[in-house]
Amino acid sequence: MNTATPAVLTVDPQRSVPRHVAIIMDGNGRWAKLRGRPRTAGHREGVKSVRAVVEECVRRGIDTLTLFAFSSENWQRPRAEVNILMELFMTALRGEVKRLNENDVRLRVIGERGAFSEKLQRRIRDAETRTANNVTLNLQVAANYGGRWDIARAARRLAEEVRAGRLDPDAIDEDALARRLSFPDLPEPDLFIRTGGEQRLSNFVLWQSAYAELYFTDILWPDFNEAAFGHALDDFSRRQRRFGHTGEQIETWSAMGAYERTE
Ligand code: FPP
């Protein structure tokens, strides 16, 4: 058996706590409908789950949390619902910064923010600046985000650099493209959670989740609390990640402590 440390593996495959968790927060509308309330009541309630999960990430030492708040396709929803979602972001950006700073959380928004109102864009920049020195948790809110948009933008950046004579097409490989995606400085998602019962990726962080462990739960987002998140993390800790290798190789490298220096 080949027991040399694999150059491609920079993540300890037996690490029990994910470094990066990505979540599709689905089920707000159904949560509200079950209670005879407007869909927007579900979104408002969903903000409480966002707080609970953020604080649980801080407690458990998770480095990065990426939340899918608004997809490129969500503009097609009824105007009133889109307006409420924008209002919720505005309120959260203003109201949560103090709490984020108390928890040492750095906020970043990923996605095509040019489509948002000037006021919302200013609020986003302000919240990012005011939390920029925090280091315990990177919180990324994906807004007007799409995984294909992210990949297409990276491809355009490569093409522009080639046109400008700064990049040799022969130098374009997976790494080169990955460095031009939305968060090249952060670890890729280890755990990808979707609440609300559907089992699909819905154009969320597609490239970056190539090796993420997928976890689907029927729990609707407003009901997704610390305990539910804990179950997802427990499930993750029992998975064996192989990254294309055999289980035997992974166990041998782990016994050798082959990954310790990368953590
Ligand atoms: C999906 O549920 C949820 C959304 C499109 C919005 C998520 C937004 C929040 C949780 C609130 C704000 C977030 C932040 C970060 C401040 P759905 O409406 O598709 O539910 P359904 O499938 O039951 O209809």
- pLDDT (tens digit per residue) in 56-88: 999 999 999 999 999 988 999 999 999 999 999
For residue 25, being part of any structural domain is answered with yes
Distance CA 213, CA 51 (A): 23
Tokens of 81: 């619902």
Q: Does 225 participate in catalysis according to the annotation?
A: no
Which residues does 46 contact at the CB level (< 8 Å), separation at least 6? 25, 28, 31, 221, 222
Residue of 2, 12, 74, 134 marked active site: 74
187 — phi, psi (to 5°)? -65, 155
Helix (H, G, I), strand (E, B) or coil at 200: coil
Query: In testing the pocket of ligand 1, which one of 26, 71, 89 has its CB within 8 Å of the most ligand atoms?
Result: 26
Average pLDDT of the segment spanning 224-249: 90
For residue 162, being part of any structural domain is answered with no
For residue 34, being part of any structural domain is answered with yes
Query: In testing the pocket of ligand 1, which one of 33, 43, 47 has its CB within 8 Å of the most ligand atoms?
Result: 43
- Which helix (H) or strand (E) segment is 156 a member of? helix 147-163
Give the chain's radius of gyration (CA, Å): 19
Residue 44 labeled ligand binder? no
pLDDT at res. 243: 79
Decide if pLDDT at 1 tops 50: no
Ligand 1 neighbour 67 (Cβ under 6 A): yes
* Residue appearing with tokens 């979104």: 43
For residue 63, being part of any structural domain is answered with yes
How far from each other are the two terminal CA atoms of the chain, in whole angstroms? 25
What are the pLDDT digits (tens) for 117-135? 999 999 999 999 999 999 9
CB 138 within 8 A of CB 64: yes
- Which helix (H) or strand (E) segment is 194 a member of? strand 191-194
Ligand 1 neighbour 222 (Cβ under 6 A): no
pLDDT at res. 255: 78
Quick count: other Cβ atoms within 10 Å of Cβ 139?
Answer: 23
Ligand 1 neighbour 46 (Cβ under 6 A): yes
For residue 97, being part of any structural domain is answered with yes
List the residue whose alpha carbon is closest to atom 8 of ligand 1.
Answer: 69
- Interval between CA 15 and ligand 1 midpoint (Å): 30
Q: Total structural domains in the chain? A: 1
The pTM score is 0.91
- What CATH number does residue 43 fall under? 3.40.1180.10
For residue 161, being part of any structural domain is answered with no
Residue 99 labeled ligand binder? no
Q: What is the dihedral of CA 121, 123, 124, 129, to 10 degrees?
A: 130
For residue 52, being part of any structural domain is answered with yes
Query: In testing the pocket of ligand 1, which one of 23, 28, 81 has its CB within 8 Å of the most ligand atoms?
Result: 28
Residue of 12, 26, 150, 190 marked active site: 26
Residue 200 labeled ligand binder? yes
Residue 235 labeled ligand binder? no
Average pLDDT, the chain: 92
Distance CA 32, CA 19 (A): 32
Distance CA 208, CA 148 (A): 11
pLDDT at res. 78: 93
Expressed as residue numbers, the domain containing 129 is 20-146+189-246
For residue 71, being part of any structural domain is answered with yes
pLDDT at res. 12: 72
pLDDT at res. 262: 43
